Structure 1
Amino acid sequence: MKPLHCSHGHENPPNSRFCLHCGEKLEQASNSKIESGLTLAGRYRIVRELGHGGFGRTYLAQDLNRFGEACVLKEFAPQVQGTFALQKASELFEREAGVLYKLKHPQIPEFRELLRVKQQGEGRLFLVQDYIAGQTCRAILEARRSQGLGFNETEILKLLRQILPVLDYIHSLGVIHRDISPENIIIRQKDGLPVLIDFGGVKQIATTVASQVMASSPVTATRLGKVGYAPHEQMQGGIISASSDLYALGATVLVLLTGKEPSELIDPHTLTWFRSRHFSAIPLSPTLSRILEQLLEPHPQDRPQSANQVLQALTSQSPQIAYSPPPPPSPQTQATVAVAPAWIAPTPPSPPAPVAPKSAPSGNNNAALGWLGKLILALVFILAAGGFGWWAGNLWIESQLRSEQRGATPTVEDFENPVISPEDDDEPEPSSDFSPEERQRKQTLRQLRMNLGINYDFYVSLVDEAFWNEYPAQRGVPLSTDPEDVRLREAWDRIAANLLTQIEQLDLSRQAKQQLGSYDESDRDRWKVSVNRLRVSSRALYDLADAQFFRIFPKQEGETGPEFLDQPMGQIWQATVVDTVKALQSRKALERIVFEPGDTGTQMSGTLQPGEGKAFTAELGADQLIDVELSSDTNALLSIYSPTGNTIFLEDSRQHSFSGELPESGFYEFVVVSDADEPIDYQLDLTVDNSPESDISVDQGIEE
Structure 2
Amino acid sequence: MQVYCSKQHANNGSNRFCTHCGEPLPLAVGQVVDNRYRIIRQLGQGGFGRTYVAEDRNQSHQICVLKEFAPQVQQQQDLQKAKELFEREANVLKKLQHPQIPRFHASLQVKIGSKDFFLLAQDYVDGDNYSQLLEQRQSQGKTFSEEEVITLLRQILPVLSYIHSLDVVHRDISPDNLILRRSDNLPVLIDFGGVKQLPASQGFWFTKLAVNNTLLGKKGYAPEEQLRQGKVFVNSDLYSLAVTALVLLTGKEPQKLYDSYQGLWYWGKEINVSAKLESVLKKMLAYKPSDRYETADKVLRDLPLATATKAPTAYVTKLKTMIVAPGGRRANTLVSKVRNKTQLITKTIPLPGWLRPFAVSLGGTALVVLTGAGTWAVVNAVITSVSSIKVPSISLPQIPQIPNPLSKPGSNKNTNNTQVLSRRQQLEIPEVFFTQMVDNLFYTKKPELQGRSLTSKSEDGGLRDEWYSIAGDLLDKIEQADLSTVTRRNLGNYSQKDYDIWRQEARSGQLGDYTINQLNKDTYQKFDRLFPGQERGKLNQKTYGQIWYAIAAEQVSKVKSGK
CA distance 1:213–1:158, shift in 2 (3 Å) = closer
User: How far apart are the structure 1 equivalents of 2:377 and 2:52?
Assistant: 26
The offset of 1:143, in angstroms, is 2.1
2:112 alignment partner, one of 110, 113, 119: 119
Deviations 1:323-351 (CA, angstroms, capped at 9, x unpaired): xxxxxxxxxxxxx9859773858869xxx
1:264 alignment partner, one of 232, 249, 256: 256
The offset of 1:81, in angstroms, is 3.5
Alpha-carbon contact 2:89-2:197 (below 8 Å) kept? no
User: Does 2:159 correspond to 1:159?
Assistant: no
User: Does 2:213 correspond to 1:224?
Assistant: no
What is the aligned-residue identity percentage?
A: 46
Alpha-carbon contact 1:609-1:679 (below 8 Å) kept? no
2:277 alignment partner, one of 281, 284, 288: 288
What is the match of residue 184 of structure 1? 177
User: Does 2:94 correspond to 1:93?
Assistant: no
1:140 alignment partner, one of 105, 130, 133: 133
Structure number with bigger Rg: 1
| 2:288 counterpart letter in structure 1 | H
Give the 3-state SS of the residue equivalent to 1:156 in structure 2: helix
Deviations 1:123-161 (CA, angstroms, capped at 9, x unpaired): 322111111121110111122222211111221122111
User: How far apart are the structure 1 equivalents of 2:179 and 2:262?
Assistant: 32
User: Does 2:250 correspond to 1:251?
Assistant: no
The offset of 1:272, in angstroms, is 2.1
Task: Provide TM-score, normalisation by structure 2.
Answer: 0.50
CA distance 1:200–1:306, shift in 2 (3 Å) = farther
Within 5 Å, give how 1:65-84 maps onto structure 2: 65-81=58-74
CA distance 1:32–1:131, shift in 2 (3 Å) = same
User: How far apart are the structure 1 equivalents of 2:70 and 2:276?
Assistant: 44
What is the match of residue 301 of structure 1? 290
The offset of 1:199, in angstroms, is 3.3
Give the 3-state SS of the residue equivalent to 1:65 in structure 2: coil
The offset of 1:176, in angstroms, is 0.9
What is the match of residue 39 of structure 1? 32
What is the match of residue 106 of structure 1? 99
The offset of 1:300, in angstroms, is 1.7
Deviations 1:408-465 (CA, angstroms, capped at 9, x unpaired): xxxxxxxxxxxxxxxxxxxxxxxxxxxxxxxxxxxxxxxxxxxxxxxxxxxxxxxxxx
User: Does 2:152 correspond to 1:168?
Assistant: no
CA distance 1:631–1:146, shift in 2 (3 Å) = closer
Alpha-carbon contact 1:272-1:298 (below 8 Å) kept? no
What is the match of residue 241 of structure 1? 233
Alpha-carbon contact 1:296-1:303 (below 8 Å) kept? yes
**Highest relative contact order (Cα 8 Å, sep 6+), 1 or 2?**
2
Task: Flag structure 1 segments of 5+ consecutive residues without an equivalent.
Answer: 6-11, 15-27, 215-219, 318-335, 349-606, 611-629, 636-675, 684-704
Within 5 Å, give how 1:230-629 maps onto structure 2: 230-280=222-272, 284-314=273-303, 342=333
User: How far apart are the structure 1 equivalents of 2:47 and 2:239?
Assistant: 25
CA distance 1:205–1:239, shift in 2 (3 Å) = closer
| 1:35 counterpart letter in structure 2 | A
Deviations 1:167-201 (CA, angstroms, capped at 9, x unpaired): 11111111111111111101112222111112375
Alpha-carbon contact 1:100-1:111 (below 8 Å) kept? yes
Alpha-carbon contact 1:210-1:221 (below 8 Å) kept? no
Alpha-carbon contact 1:111-1:128 (below 8 Å) kept? yes
CA distance 1:347–1:254, shift in 2 (3 Å) = farther
The offset of 1:231, in angstroms, is 1.3
Alpha-carbon contact 1:134-1:188 (below 8 Å) kept? yes
Task: Flag structure 2 segments of 5+ consecutive residues without an equivalent.
Answer: 10-20, 307-323, 341-374, 379-413, 420-453, 463-563
What is the match of residue 384 of structure 2? none
Give the 3-state SS of the residue equivalent to 1:70 in structure 2: strand
User: How far apart are the structure 2 equivalents of 1:88 and 1:609?
Assistant: 39
User: How far apart are the structure 1 equivalents of 2:168 and 2:302?
Assistant: 23
1:63 alignment partner, one of 56, 78, 81: 56
What is the match of residue 414 of structure 1? none
Give the 3-state SS of the residue equivalent to 2:232 in structure 1: coil
Alpha-carbon contact 1:85-1:213 (below 8 Å) kept? no
CA distance 1:276–1:147, shift in 2 (3 Å) = same
Q: How much is the aligned-residue C-alpha RMSD, in angstroms?
A: 4.1
What is the match of residue 555 of structure 1? none
Give the 3-state SS of the residue equivalent to 1:289 in structure 2: helix
* Count of residues in Structure 1 that have an aligned counterpart in Structure 2: 323
User: How far apart are the structure 2 equivalents of 1:298 and 1:127?
Assistant: 34
User: How far apart are the structure 1 equivalents of 2:206 and 2:275?
Assistant: 51
CA distance 1:346–1:236, shift in 2 (3 Å) = farther
User: How far apart are the structure 2 equivalents of 1:205 and 1:238?
Assistant: 10
| 2:150 counterpart letter in structure 1 | L
Deviations 1:372-419 (CA, angstroms, capped at 9, x unpaired): xxxxxxxxxxxxxxxxxxxxxxxxxxxxxxxxxxxxxxxxxxxxxxxx
| 1:251 counterpart letter in structure 2 | V
CA distance 1:104–1:337, shift in 2 (3 Å) = farther
